[in-house]
């Protein structure tokens, strides 16, 4: 073996092993040969929360968290945000190359063709309570599409996969808009196929009795840029859920529903809603220093700050801050911006945040823009799920085409009881019940 190897001396047996290093990684399975004897299972790694474990090889998204770099298929995120539409970027993320003019036309037509929901799916949505959280409605409705398109379970047929991908990307804004209209008690608006992806979404959200909805072009473009920024982010919590569920060959609707469920949590996509709640609690700029002190005392986290991968300014947050200027010219400034800017200013100078490399993440400013555009905080994570569907599906396709992948099944270190005899119910004490 050449120099690209790791020599491991097992002091238990005084045996040395040569483990190959490839792309800065050793294979965890290469450690299994390290045993103390024939009955030993072999060495495993222990990595709660996957802090240092690559679960796949991927060609979709590149992040350098220390340098603040994000690229889809090699293209820097700022160039894509400036020059592309979201559907163009979705094509790139999914199929590896920017589309030619004819490919783009076919792609956009395909997506547009699939924007409508089956009427029974609409009835399904009507069953939710008036105050149901939009993310719960979205997750359930996406899962319910699995019953409408049973052929989707044929996940090994590339043509079939492409059809379901177009359906999901086409229907996501429709479901999202309907969850919003449902919470307001408004009738659902059918898609308008003359409009762009973002404009049509706005149409389904906000059209009232006017015969044709006219989207504000600045807001539609800002929404499209936000969609581009959220299209993929490699192996985050929801992409990992998509791959884990998809690895059992569950259909793409059920896998996407699982990914969306993972996104809903406040430590992931749910953070944008939490940022707005936090800004409400702070109330005004002068209360920011006292709030920061409480964060430093460990009372709560500063929502929209910190990231597992970025130890530098999140490049998406930079672009969102820039896009906010255009939005505020149309909508007027969101008063919460002042509080957010002050939070950022103080946090970026504070030893606590500097030492831990905590910078604003994508969720810090997105909520402020969304609110200025007229969205309620409850729907922010749904807005995240629409574009991220492209990324989830790209991760899912890549997984299915990777000959090295198998059903995702981590190991554990068992720390529970050894074998013990069954205790009849009348002999069980209070202590046993409490520890159960």
Binding site for ligand ACO (CB under 6 A): 267-269, 271, 295, 301-308, 356, 358, 361-363
Q: Shortest gap between Cβ of 247 and ligand ACO (angstroms)? A: 22
Q: From CA 431, how far away is CA 21, in angstroms rounded? A: 50
Q: Which helix (H) or strand (E) holds 390?
A: helix 380-401
| Identity of the residue, 246 or 269, whose beta carbon is nearer to ligand ACO in the bound complex | 269
Give the residue among 77, 47, 50 at the shortest CA–CA distance from 64.
Answer: 77
Q: Shortest gap between Cβ of 70 and ligand ACO (angstroms)? A: 12
Look up 233 and say whether it is catalytic.
Answer: no
Q: From CA 59, how far away is CA 249, in angstroms rounded? A: 21
Look up 363 and say whether it is catalytic.
Answer: yes
- Is 269:285 a contact under the CB 8 Å cutoff? no
Q: Sign (positive/negative) of CA torsion 199, 219, 268, 307?
A: positive
Q: Shortest gap between Cβ of 31 and ligand ACO (angstroms)? A: 25
Among candidate residues 224, 251, 314, 363, the one labeled active-site is 363
Measured CA to CA in angstroms, residue 106 lies from 113, 161, 201 at distances of 10, 16, 20
| Identity of the residue, 240 or 397, whose beta carbon is nearer to ligand ACO in the bound complex | 240
Query: Which ranges of 283-411 would DSSP assign to H, the alpha helix?
Result: 288-296, 315-331, 336-349, 351-355, 362-373, 380-401
Q: What are phi and psi of 85, to 5 degrees?
A: -95, 165
Q: Shortest gap between Cβ of 233 and ligand ACO (angstroms)? A: 7
| Identity of the residue, 118 or 311, whose beta carbon is nearer to ligand ACO in the bound complex | 311
| Identity of the residue, 252 or 306, whose beta carbon is nearer to ligand ACO in the bound complex | 306
Which residues have C-beta within 8 Å of that of residue 142, sequence separation ≥ 6? 168, 172, 175, 253, 256, 257, 260
| Identity of the residue, 117 or 385, whose beta carbon is nearer to ligand ACO in the bound complex | 385
| Identity of the residue, 257 or 271, whose beta carbon is nearer to ligand ACO in the bound complex | 271
Q: Sign (positive/negative) of CA torsion 240, 245, 246, 251?
A: negative
Q: Sign (positive/negative) of CA torsion 242, 391, 320, 110?
A: negative
| Identity of the residue, 268 or 285, whose beta carbon is nearer to ligand ACO in the bound complex | 268
* 3-state SS class at 329: helix
- Is 320:352 a contact under the CB 8 Å cutoff? no
Q: What are phi and psi of 69, to 5 degrees?
A: -105, 135
Tell me the residue number closest to ligand ACO, measured at CB.
306
Q: Shortest gap between Cβ of 382 and ligand ACO (angstroms)? A: 14
Among candidate residues 114, 133, 233, 307, the one labeled active-site is 307
Token pair, residue 200, equals 């049509």
| Identity of the residue, 182 or 316, whose beta carbon is nearer to ligand ACO in the bound complex | 316
Q: Shortest gap between Cβ of 98 and ligand ACO (angstroms)? A: 25
Token pair, residue 52, equals 């240092």
Among candidate residues 78, 118, 268, 350, the one labeled active-site is 268
Q: Shortest gap between Cβ of 357 and ligand ACO (angstroms)? A: 8
Measured CA to CA in angstroms, residue 358 lies from 210, 344, 435 at distances of 47, 10, 38
Q: Shortest gap between Cβ of 268 and ligand ACO (angstroms)? A: 4
Q: From CA 151, how far away is CA 159, in angstroms rounded? A: 11
Q: What are phi and psi of 187, to 5 degrees?
A: -65, 150
| Identity of the residue, 51 or 415, whose beta carbon is nearer to ligand ACO in the bound complex | 51
Look up 286 and say whether it is catalytic.
Answer: no
Q: Shortest gap between Cβ of 374 and ligand ACO (angstroms)? A: 22
Q: What are phi and psi of 75, to 5 degrees?
A: -90, 130
Q: From CA 68, how far away is CA 171, in angstroms rounded? A: 32
For 45-87, give the DSSP string: ---GGGTT------SSEEEETTTTEEEETTEEHHHHHHH--HH
Active-site amino acid positions: 268, 307, 363
């Amino acid at each position: 073996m050449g120099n690209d190897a790791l020599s491991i001396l097992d002091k238990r047996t005084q045996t040395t092993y040569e483990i190959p290093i490839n792309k800065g990684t050793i294979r965890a399975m290469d450690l299994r040969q390290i045993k103390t004897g024939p009955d030993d299972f072999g060495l495993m790694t222990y990595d709660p929360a996957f802090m240092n474990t690559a679960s796949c090889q991927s060609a979709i998204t590149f992040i350098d968290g220390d340098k603040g770099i994000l690229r889809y298929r090699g293209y820097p995120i700022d160039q894509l945000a400036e020059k592309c539409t979201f559907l163009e970027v979705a094509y790139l993320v999914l199929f590896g190359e920017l589309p030619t003019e004819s490919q783009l036309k076919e792609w956009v037509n395909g997506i547009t063709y699939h924007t409508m929901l089956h009427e029974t799916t609409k009835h399904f949505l009507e069953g939710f309570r008036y105050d149901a959280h939009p993310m719960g409605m979205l997750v359930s409705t996406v899962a319910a599409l699995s019953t409408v398109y049973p052929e989707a379970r044929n996940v090994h047929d590339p043509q079939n996969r492409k059809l379901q991908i177009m359906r999901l990307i086409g229907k996501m804004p429709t479901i999202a808009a309907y969850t919003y209209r449902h919470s307001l008690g408004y009738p659902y608006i059918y898609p308008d196929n003359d409009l762009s992806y973002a404009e049509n979404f706005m149409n389904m959200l906000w059209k009232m009795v006017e015969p044709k909805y006219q989207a504000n072009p600045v807001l539609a473009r800002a929404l499209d840029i936000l969609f581009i920024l959220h299209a993929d982010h490699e192996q985050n919590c929801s992409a990992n859920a998509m791959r884990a569920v998809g690895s059992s060959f569950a259909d793409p609707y059920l896998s996407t529903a699982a990914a969306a469920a993972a996104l809903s949590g406040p430590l992931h996509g749910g953070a944008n809603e939490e940022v707005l709640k936090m800004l409400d609690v702070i109330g005004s700029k002068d209360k920011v220093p006292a709030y920061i002190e409480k964060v430093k005392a460990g009372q709560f986290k500063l929502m929209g700050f910190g990231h597992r991968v970025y130890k530098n300014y999140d490049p998406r947050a930079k672009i969102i801050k820039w896009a906010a200027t255009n939005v505020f010219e149309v909508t007027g400034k969101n008063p919460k911006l002042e509080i957010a800017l002050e939070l950022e200013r103080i946090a970026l100078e504070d030893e606590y945040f500097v030492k831990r490399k905590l910078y604003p993440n994508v969720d810090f400013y997105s909520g402020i823009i969304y609110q200025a555009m007229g969205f309620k905080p409850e729907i922010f994570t749904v807005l995240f799920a629409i574009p991220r569907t492209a990324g989830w599906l790209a991760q899912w396709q890549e997984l299915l085409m990777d000959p090295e992948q198998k059903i995702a099944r981590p190991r554990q270190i068992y720390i529970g009881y050894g074998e013990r005899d069954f205790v009849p119910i009348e002999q069980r004490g209070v202590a046993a019940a409490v520890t159960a």
